[in-house]
């Protein structure tokens, strides 16, 4: 089972992914927790280039292709082998982030993004995607105050981050079976309870289907 988390910056995804991974591990699942961009040595090198405040002159197309190259390595080196071994993969962001940020945020053509993404991911689509939704301004404020290093991607304008959030909403509407939307503007433990409920319900539905 492949679960991804998406959401605007400052939605608390990383904490929620970690807590869910610990929970599923405690239930006996073999869990790989990963993140994008990153998750392999090569992908982490690409991450450095993407985040570096020195690279302010990077074009959206360059940015998208770098995210895609990091993703291509992660899918082949880590995600597919883990799924093939029967494990659960949880990823903090995946290709939906490229549609939201480089597509809706920067205005790159969505069809081109989808075409490159099919190659990068070898057409691997998550089984379940949780959108941790938060107002863009509130998310950025949380991001600034949580002590994380401010990177080149955080530095885009508020209007950009608002388009990203709107983009996520469009994607949920277009593919409602894969997405679940949760309100990220609530305490960590309450949100985690909701995350666990959603995942448990999804897993129960799948095992019912495979039994019948």
User: With binding defined as CB under 6 A, does residue 5 bind ligand TMP?
Assistant: no
Q: Which residues contact 43 (CB under 8 A, 6 or more apart)?
A: 36, 37, 70, 71, 73, 74
Distance CA 19, CA 143 (A): 19
Q: Note the Cα 62 to chain centre separation in Å.
A: 19
Smallest separation, CB 37 to ligand TMP (Å): 5
Tokens 């941790």 sit at which residue? 132
Site for ligand TMP in 168-207 (CB under 6 A): none
Torsion of CA 119, 122, 128, 131, to 10 degrees: -30
Distance CA 107, CA 156 (A): 14
Beta strands in 99-173 (DSSP E): 128-133
> Other CB atoms closer than 10 Å to residue 52's CB: what's the count?
12
Residue whose C-beta lies closest to ligand TMP: 101
C-beta of 124 vs 203, nearer to ligand TMP: 124
C-beta of 152 vs 196, nearer to ligand TMP: 152
Site for ligand TMP in 9-28 (CB under 6 A): 9
Smallest separation, CB 7 to ligand TMP (Å): 9
C-beta of 73 vs 102, nearer to ligand TMP: 102
C-beta of 107 vs 205, nearer to ligand TMP: 107
Smallest separation, CB 9 to ligand TMP (Å): 5
Encoded tokens for 145: 């105050």
> Other CB atoms closer than 10 Å to residue 201's CB: what's the count?
12
User: With binding defined as CB under 6 A, does residue 153 bind ligand TMP?
Assistant: yes
Site for ligand TMP in 25-84 (CB under 6 A): 36-37, 67
Site for ligand TMP in 84-143 (CB under 6 A): 93, 97-98, 101-102
Contact residues for ligand TMP, defined by CB under 6 A = 9, 36-37, 67, 93, 97-98, 101-102, 153
């Amino acid at each position: 089972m492949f679960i991804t988390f998406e959401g605007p910056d400052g939605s608390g995804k990383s904490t929620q992914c970690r807590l869910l991974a610990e929970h599923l591990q405690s239930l006996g699942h073999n869990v790989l927790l990963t993140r994008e961009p990153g998750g392999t040595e090569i992908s982490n090198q690409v991450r450095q280039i993407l985040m570096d405040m020195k690279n302010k002159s990077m074009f959206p197309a360059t940015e998208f292709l770098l995210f895609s190259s990091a993703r291509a390595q992660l899918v082949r080196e880590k995600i597919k082998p883990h799924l093939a071994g029967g494990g659960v993969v949880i990823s903090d962001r995946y290709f939906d982030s490229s549609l939201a940020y480089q597509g809706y945020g920067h205005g790159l053509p969505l069809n081109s993004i989808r075409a490159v993404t099919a190659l990068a991911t070898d057409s691997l689509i998550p089984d379940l995607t949780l959108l941790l939704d938060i107002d863009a301004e509130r998310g950025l404020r949380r991001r600034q105050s949580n002590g994380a290093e401010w990177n080149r991607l955080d530095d885009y304008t508020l209007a950009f981050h608002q388009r990203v959030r709107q983009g996520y909403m469009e994607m949920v509407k277009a593919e409602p079976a894969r997405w679940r939307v949760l309100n990220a503007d609530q305490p960590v433990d309450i949100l985690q309870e909701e995350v666990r409920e959603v995942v448990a319900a999804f897993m129960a539905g799948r095992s019912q289907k495979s039994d019948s």
